[in-house]
């Protein structure tokens, strides 16, 4: 079945609930090389853990560890609309002082403070309010990626737009490993008569000046050094594209409704099939596992799973056609951050406290 036939099926009310894409990854250095998961700050009131990874042992003895969170994956995918896929979405920039920030770079998307307190504010409020009433068209005209990756207008209208695309990278069957480090000063500053021991022993915030400034040998001791795959371990990136939410998109015009749904579907397929860089952070550089090719499945409400093949070049042609049909704004839009509007909001919050 070709892509055009598949997309028509996916937009049909009897179509599948979701498209599930799975990709197996390995460290670029090989399976025996440790990788470093993300670390997280402790919960409020808790001390920082000596093992700051999200690593869980399951009742059957298996372990699982987060390698890249849903939120991080969304940010990595959304940024593709600044690069390879830039021609498919509006390019809106906000000038704040000497800085110019693209809407696609804003952490809270269209609900981010830099956008909400700009000259776009009224349009954004209208887009959220219309979405709440069942009309997704204004939001798609301004920020279609906020429909794809979700957004919560927590500071103003309180409208929540759920994620259509949820992607996460997890490692399964891994073991925690440790490392130790040692900094050795190139010169014995005391022995050479350059500095005194008393000077180096002085403390700033409970840390010796000599260690703080790098004048002394500093051993780190035993610390976490990442996770390593067991013999049966693997790293999986799973992305779920909720087709139910695409079909739920509505407008006040039946003709525009189908164009909108095709456009958002096309954007989702484009961002999911565009090759990603899997250098996630220092010590976590991944690549595809050549022994396990990526797979895509359409999953129906009754649980039936059917494998589908999706060609990247076909997807790009479909996305370009859908964006043209939807008449995406091609001109770059420059908005301006409004400090006075932000100050007004700050004052109103102070008056309530």
pLDDT tens, residue by residue, 225-279: 899 999 999 999 999 999 999 999 999 988 899 999 999 999 999 999 999 899 9
Residue 134 lies in a domain: yes
d(CA 130, CA 139): 8
Total domains in the chain come to 1
Find tokens 């709440």 and name the residue. Answer: 132
Burial of 303 (0-12, 13-18, 19+ CB in 10 A): exposed
CB 7 within 8 A of CB 265: yes
Residue-wise pLDDT tens digits, 44-82: 666 665 668 999 999 998 999 999 999 999 999 999 999
The answer to whether residue 293 sits within a structural domain is yes
Residue 142 belongs to a domain: yes
| Contact predicate 78/91, CB 8 Å | no
- Angle, CA 164 vertex, CA 159 and CA 167 arms, to 5°: 120
Longest dimension (CA), the chain: 84
Residue 209 included in any domain? no
Does residue 307 lie in a domain region? yes
> How many residues in the chain?
353
Residue 353 has pLDDT above 80, yes or no: no
Q: Which of 72-81, 211-220, 283-292 has the lowest mean pLDDT?
A: 211-220
Beta strands in the chain (DSSP E): 18-27, 55-57, 63-68, 92-96, 99-102, 151-152, 160-161, 165-183, 203-204, 207-208, 218-242, 279-281, 284-288, 295-299, 305-308, 333-336
Helix, strand, coil distribution of the chain in percent, nearest 5? 35, 30, 35
Domain membership of residue 253 (yes or no) is: yes
Least confident of 116-120, 181-185, 188-192: 181-185
Q: Is 145 among the domain residues? A: yes
pLDDT value, residue 210: 81
Q: Backbone phi, then psi, for 295, in 5-degree steps?
A: -130, 155
> Above pLDDT 90, what percent of the chain?
73
Place of tokens 């349009």: 123
Per the structure block, which two tokens stand in for 45? 């009131």
272: phi then psi, degrees, rounded to nearest 5: -80, -25
> Do residues 108 and 159 lie in contact, with contact meaning Cβ atoms separated by under 8 Å?
no
Cβ atoms of 262 and 326 closer than 8 Å: yes
Q: What is the DSSP letter of 187?
A: S
CB atoms within 10 A of CB 21: 20
Question: Could you read off the pLDDT of 121-168 as tens digits, one per residue?
Answer: 999 999 999 999 999 999 999 999 999 999 999 989 999 999 999 999
Is residue 240, in this structure, part of any structural domain at all?
yes
pTM, two decimals, is: 0.89
Which residues face 286 on adjacent strands?
27
Write the DSSP string, 68-98.
E-HHHHHHHHHGGGGTTTGGGS--EEEEETT
Report the pLDDT averaged over residues 169-177: 96
101 with 333: CB under 8 angstroms?
A: no
Its domain, for residue 233, covers 3-39+51-174+224-341
Q: What is the signed CA dihedral for 27, 29, 34, 40, rounded to 10 degrees?
A: -50
């Amino acid at each position: 079945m070709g892509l055009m036939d598949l997309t028509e099926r996916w937009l049909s009310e009897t179509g599948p609930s979701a498209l599930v894409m799975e990709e197996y990854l390995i460290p670029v250095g090989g399976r025996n090389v440790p990788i470093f998961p993300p670390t997280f700050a402790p919960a409020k009131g808790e001390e920082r853990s000596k093992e700051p990874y999200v690593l869980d042992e399951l009742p059957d003895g298996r372990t699982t560890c987060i390698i890249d969170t849903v939120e991080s994956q969304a940010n990595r995918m959304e940024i593709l609309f600044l690069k390879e896929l830039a021609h498919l979405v509006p390019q809106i920039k906000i000038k704040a002082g000497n800085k110019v920030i693209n809407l696609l770079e804003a952490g809270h998307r269209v609900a981010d403070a830099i956008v909400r307190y700009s000259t776009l504010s009224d349009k954004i409020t209208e887009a959220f309010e219309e979405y709440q009433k069942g009309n997704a068209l204004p939001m798609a005209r301004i920020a279609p990626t906020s429909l794809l990756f979700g957004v919560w207008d927590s500071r103003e209208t309180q409208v929540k737009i759920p994620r259509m695309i949820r992607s996460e990278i997890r490692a399964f069957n891994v073991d925690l490993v440790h490392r130790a480090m040692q900094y050795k000063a190139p010169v014995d500053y005391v022995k050479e008569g350059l500095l005194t021991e008393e000077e180096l022993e002085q403390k700033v915030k409970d840390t010796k000046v000599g260690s703080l400034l790098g004048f002394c040998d500093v051993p780190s001791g035993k610390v976490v050094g990442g996770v390593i795959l067991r013999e049966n371990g693997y790293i999986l990136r799973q992305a779920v594209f909720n087709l139910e939410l695409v079909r739920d998109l509505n407008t006040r015009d039946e003709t525009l409704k189908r164009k909108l749904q095709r456009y958002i579907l096309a954007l989702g397929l484009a961002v999911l099939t565009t090759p990603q860089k899997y250098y996630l952070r220092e010590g976590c550089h991944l690549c595809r596992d050549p022994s396990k090719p990526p797979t895509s499945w359409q999953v129906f409400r009754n649980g039936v799973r059917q494998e589908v093949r999706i060609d990247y070049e076909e997807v790009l042609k479909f996305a370009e056609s859908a964006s043209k049909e939807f008449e995406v704004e091609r001109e770059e839009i420059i908005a301006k951050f409004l400090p006075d509007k932000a100050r007004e909001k700050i004052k109103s919050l102070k008056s309530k406290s």
